[in-house]
């Protein structure tokens, strides 16, 4: 049994101006350090947006934020849907490495974090949502409300064999 760190869409164009940007960057950095120290896989997912130019593959905003730069041994995936499992090799890579749970962090809370968390359960993985390491911008609700709502409701998603646990970064242990 192993836990992997899944960093979703921490790309320059999305991070810039996101709610609590500096604290989230710091918390994701902390999680990366903890995962590497424990020998856990560190996996980056980058969104290839079809119409938002800064997030189109190859554009400067598409790149992983420089403070979170992947190392050569880290795994990187590109995706085109909110679900990091959809159309990617994520499930296969996790299973090959005997991963049974993922620590989830990144952007955007109400889209890619929410969808990937729920999808992970259906792909037979437990999820630990780092409550202070995901963020978004204002949308139909203010960003703090979106984040608080998802921290509360994702912990209550019902699944017969898997669960989503919500913890602050400092309380997460990689095994």
Enzyme catalytic residues: 112
Both ends of the chain: CA-CA distance in Å?
Answer: 8
Q: Which of 114, 60, 24 is nearest to 32 (CA)?
A: 24
Pairing of strands 99-107, 2-8: parallel
Ranges of beta strands (E only) in the chain are 2-8, 42-47, 75-79, 99-107, 126-135, 164-167
Q: Read off the DSSP letter of residue 73.
A: T
Classify 98 in phi/psi space as left (phi over 0), alpha (psi -120 to 50) or beta: left
Question: Residue 18 to residues 3, 72, 166: CA-CA distances in angstroms?
Answer: 27, 27, 21
Q: Which two tokens stand for residue 84?
A: 């990091």
Q: Read off the DSSP letter of residue 69.
A: P
How many CB atoms sit inside 10 A of residue 170's CB? 11
């Amino acid at each position: 049994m192993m836990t992997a760190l899944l960093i979703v869409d921490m790309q320059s164009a999305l991070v810039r101006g996101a709610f609590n940007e500096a604290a989230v960057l710091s918390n994701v950095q902390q999680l990366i350090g903890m995962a590497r120290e424990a020998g856990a896989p560190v996996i980056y997912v980058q969104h290839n947006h079809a119409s938002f130019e800064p997030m189109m593959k190859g554009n400067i905003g598409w790149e992983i934020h420089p403070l979170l730069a992947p190392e050569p041994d880290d795994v990187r995936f590109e995706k085109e849907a909110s679900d990091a499992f959809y159309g990617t090799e994520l499930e296969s890579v996790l299973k090959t490495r005997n991963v049974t749970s993922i620590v989830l962090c990144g952007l955007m809370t109400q889209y890619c974090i929410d969808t990937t968390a729920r999808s992970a359960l259906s792909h037979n993985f437990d999820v630990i949502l780092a409550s202070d390491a995901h963020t978004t911008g204002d949308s139909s609700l203010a960003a703090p409300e979106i984040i608080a709502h998802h921290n509360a409701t994702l912990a209550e998603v019902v699944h017969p064999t898997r669960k989503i646990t919500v913890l602050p970064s400092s309380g997460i242990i990689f095994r």
